[in-house]
């Protein structure tokens, strides 16, 4: 498996596959061909259908500026759902054509290259990681540190700082999010809307939701966020971590350990399935985020490795089949609210795992395989096309 350094990425939203991936792709092209002065960019499939709402065209244009960019959009079911074809010109001559896939979480693949992927972990399944940890008496965090090297802490501290900044920024901002849906930002309202005689349960729900809304609204506004594992699902993990951090006055060191554990589970999903909504539906994005957050919560609750695994498994299991249907292609409805619901669900999954892990029958690896196959079987229109589900019915009732 790859390093978790390639997993958590810091960048601007609203979409890791539709904004961040195309940004990195355009930057790569620009650096490879500094002499180019004109580009023809063809965006395919999901990118073509939801590119406008996800700011795909804008980010490509801005990155390749000041040169001319001509866009085409096409559907080709034989291509990866998020394919970009760059035709690169110097003066009037075509000097190269490069295909790039945006495979989720901001990752890109150039001309089907696999040699760029550097392996850091010898294990590719959670069961093999668990066996190694048990044999060697390691916690999951210690395992990550052994594989990545001690400097991984610095990386995790910086990721945690970015997450805290996203929450702070999201809780400060009010007003309307960009785009034609005119969605009102709600994070600050949720934070301050303490009701009379509020119970601990309601307060927990309100605060966790406020933090998830804060990050997701920052993402929707094109603000700076961390992919966890994607932009669209970036609110779930920080919400759970920040709630635990505040409530239990935890140290930053404790939080970065949980961040490492969460990344490990996300990395297994990326390795054996997908974290892209265009490939596997929202179960691959918010489902994965929920799984990571549940593992982090269980780790912060000092649970054993079996309990942590069970928490991550339960969190994914109950997102199976979840479709991706962002209205008008904006990562706003259902995405923002969905992040909050998944954050609460992650805590719930962790608490179930605390009591019941010894009687479980489903492993994390099995649920990842199930999620992937479910995603492959899902009708393509439910995978980030904005042509089905709520996106379809919303359009139907508002036109």
Provide the binding-site residues for ligand SF4, judged by CB under 6 A.
232-233, 277, 282, 285-286, 324, 326, 331, 334-335, 338, 384
Q: Which is nearer to ligand SF4, 165 or 285 (CB)?
A: 285
- Retrieve residue 116's tokens: 């760029």
Which residue, 276 or 299, has its beta carbon nearer to ligand SF4? 276
Phi then psi dihedrals of residue 115, to 5 deg: -70, -10
Least distance from ligand SF4 to the Cβ atom of residue 252, Å: 28
Q: How far apart are CA 336 and CA 332, in angstroms?
A: 5
SS3 of 191-216: the string is HHCCCCCCCHHHHHHHHHHHHHHHHH
User: From the CB of 285, what's the least distance to ligand SF4, in Å?
Assistant: 4
Looking at the Cβ atoms of 240 and 353, the one nearer to ligand SF4 is 240
Residue 390 C-beta: closest distance to ligand SF4, Å: 9
Distance in Å, CB of 50 to ligand SF4, minimum: 8
Query: Which strand (E) or helix (H) includes residue 85?
Result: strand 83-90
H/E element, 11:
strand 10-12
Distance CA 228, CA 288 (A): 9
Q: Which region holds residue 210: left if phi is over 0, alpha if psi is between -120 and 50, else beta?
A: alpha
Residue closer to ligand SF4 by CB (options 39, 265) is 265
Shortest separation between residue 11's beta carbon and ligand SF4, angstroms: 15
> How far is 167 from 23, CA to CA, in rounded Å?
24
Query: Other CB atoms closer than 10 Å to residue 121's CB: what's the count?
Result: 21
Least spacing, CB of residue 105 vs ligand SF4, in Å: 11
Residue placing its CB nearer to ligand SF4 in the complex, 15 or 307: 15
CA-nearest of 372, 273, 386, 340 to 15 is 386
Give dist(CA 273, CA 242) in Å, integer.
Answer: 28
Output 139 or 321, the one with its CB closest to ligand SF4: 321
- What's the chain's length in residues? 399
- For ligand SF4, the closer of residues 331 and 347 by Cβ is 331
Structure tokens at 249: 């006055």
Residue 375 Cβ vs ligand SF4, minimum distance, rounded to whole Å: 11
Shortest reach from residue 377's CB to ligand SF4, in Å = 17
38-44/10-12 β-pairing: unpaired
Nearer to ligand SF4, 133 or 322 (CB): 322
**CA distances, 203 to each of 86, 194, 362 (Å):** 50, 8, 32
């Amino acid at each position: 498996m790859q390093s978790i350094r390639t997993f958590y990425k810091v960048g601007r939203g609203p979409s890791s596959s539709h904004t961040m991936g195309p940004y990195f792709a355009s930057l790569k092209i620009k650096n490879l061909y500094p002499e180019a002065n004109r580009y023809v960019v063809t965006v395919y499939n999901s990118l073509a259908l939801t590119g406008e709402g996800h700011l795909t065209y804008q980010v490509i244009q801005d990155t390749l500026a000041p040169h001319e960019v001509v866009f085409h959009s096409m559907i080709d079911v034989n291509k990866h759902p998020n394919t970009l074809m760059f035709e690169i010109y110097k003066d009037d001559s075509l000097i190269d054509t490069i295909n790039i896939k945006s495979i989720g979480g901001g990752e890109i693949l150039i001309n089907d290259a696999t040699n760029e992927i550097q392996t850091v972990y010898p294990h590719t399944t959670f069961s093999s990681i668990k066996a190694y940890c048990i044999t060697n008496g390691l916690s999951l965090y210690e395992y990550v540190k052994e594989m990545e090297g001690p400097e991984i802490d610095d990386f995790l501290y910086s990721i945690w700082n970015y997450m805290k900044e996203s929450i702070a920024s999201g809780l400060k901002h009010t007003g309307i999010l960009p785009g034609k849906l005119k969605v009102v930002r709600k994070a600050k309202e949720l934070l301050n809307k303490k009701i009379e005689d509020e119970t601990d349960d309601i307060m927990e729900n309100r605060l966790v939701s406020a933090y998830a809304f804060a990050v997701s609204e920052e993402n929707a506004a094109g603000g700076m966020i961390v992919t966890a594992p994607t932009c669209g699902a970036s609110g779930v993990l920080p919400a759970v971590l920040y709630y635990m951090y505040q409530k239990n006055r935890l140290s930053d060191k404790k939080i970065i350990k949980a961040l490492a554990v969460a990344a490990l589970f996300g990395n297994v999903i990326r390795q054996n399935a997908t974290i892209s909504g265009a490939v596997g539906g929202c179960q691959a994005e918010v489902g994965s985020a929920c799984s990571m957050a549940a593992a982090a919560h269980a780790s912060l609750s000092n649970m054993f490795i079996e309990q942590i695994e069970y928490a991550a498994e339960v969190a994914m299991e109950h997102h199976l089949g979840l479709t991706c249907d962002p209205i008008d292609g904006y990562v706003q409805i259902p995405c923002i609210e969905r992040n909050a619901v998944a954050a609460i669900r992650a805590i719930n999954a962790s608490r179930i795992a605390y009591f019941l892990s010894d009687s479980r029958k489903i492993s994390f690896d099995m649920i990842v395989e199930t999620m992937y196959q479910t995603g492959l079987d899902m009708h393509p229109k439910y995978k980030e096309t904005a042509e089905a589900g709520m996106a379809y019915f919303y359009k139907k009732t508002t036109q």
